[in-house]
Structure 1
């Protein structure tokens, strides 16, 4: 996501201390020089990026998966999503995640938006796609993924948001993008 940096707010990195290197994320503490000349520390989570797919069936339902989210200690209903592999094209990852988690392939898939999930402490960027002209197949989730697939109407998705069965930003954003699509015939750009 290229953009013009506002130099007056820039924090220049003085040093970086690696803290943790995991399979998905790493954590570092940066010492930075502030715009006023002072110094501060920033705890930063590094992430390879991710994709998420708003998959819409021909009868106007959204494909979701329910799975347990350990950080929240509860199950969540979410759109299919997953992290990017090293060097992987986000479009290819979106197709892969849709098929792995749901078994569906898409005759049409297009980019809706890319956004940072938690810019206050992480560099994760998420690429949101819309998939249509779906063909059902066999799901093949990762060994450690236990999912239940469901097809929701717009009304059901909105009820799930109210009930907090859907409470993650990517899925809520996807529902709002779908709502706009239904009203205007196009996704936000």
Structure 2
């Protein structure tokens, strides 16, 4: 079976600072026509910043889309100054937390929700953290509280429904696997 959908017409219905909203008329493999509503996105990077005493640095902020507080790993959008996604991750860690790291490692990448958006997220692990004396300022529309959470505290945030975005849930399970690998290696 062929799975390709041919775009017959594409129309931008709104272009914002972060996303572009597009409606595509597509021809399905069986010849029928359908509409696809797509959110175009420039991509983002996120960081799992681990302290030397095995805490994860998280950020607490209000998310209007879900009308509630959210506790998340630091992350942000790629911008024109970033050479690559690691540069985005480094910039976002500094802007949101005031930290940088001596050691960086690529962890994974994924499409956040390919049913309606092309947002591609790349995740890095940062260790050997150090505070920046005069860090980059957060975005002017961001109100962030930095949290250093132990493994159990992070899972408690999850169980209370405060930590539920996909990248941070991934971070919890990554941390769990990391702890299991260390335990098995002993």
Output the TM-score relative to the length of structure 2.
0.93
Give the gaps of 5 or more residues in structure 2.
none
Runs of 4+ residues deviating >3 angstroms: none
Q: Paired residue for 1:178, among 166, 175, 186?
A: 175
Q: Paired residue for 2:93, among 88, 94, 98?
A: 98
How well do the aligned residues superpose, as a CA RMSD in angstroms? 1.2
Q: Paired residue for 1:160, among 146, 157, 160?
A: 157
Aligned with 1:173: secondary structure?
helix
Aligned with 2:127: secondary structure?
strand
Aligned with 1:166: secondary structure?
coil
Give the gaps of 5 or more residues in structure 1.
1-6
Aligned CA distance change for structure 1 residues 33 and 86 (closer, same or farther; 3 Å) = farther
| Kept after mapping to 2: 8 A contact 1:48/1:86 | no
Q: Paired residue for 2:106, among 108, 111, 117?
A: 111
**Alignment partner, residue 3 of structure 1:** none
Aligned with 1:145: secondary structure?
coil
- What's the CA shift string for 1:97-118, capped at 9, x where partnerless? 0011000110001110000011
**Alignment partner, residue 4 of structure 2:** 10
Alignment coverage as a number of residue pairs: 179
Distance 2:119 2:105 in 1: 20
Q: CA deviation at 1:143?
A: 0.9
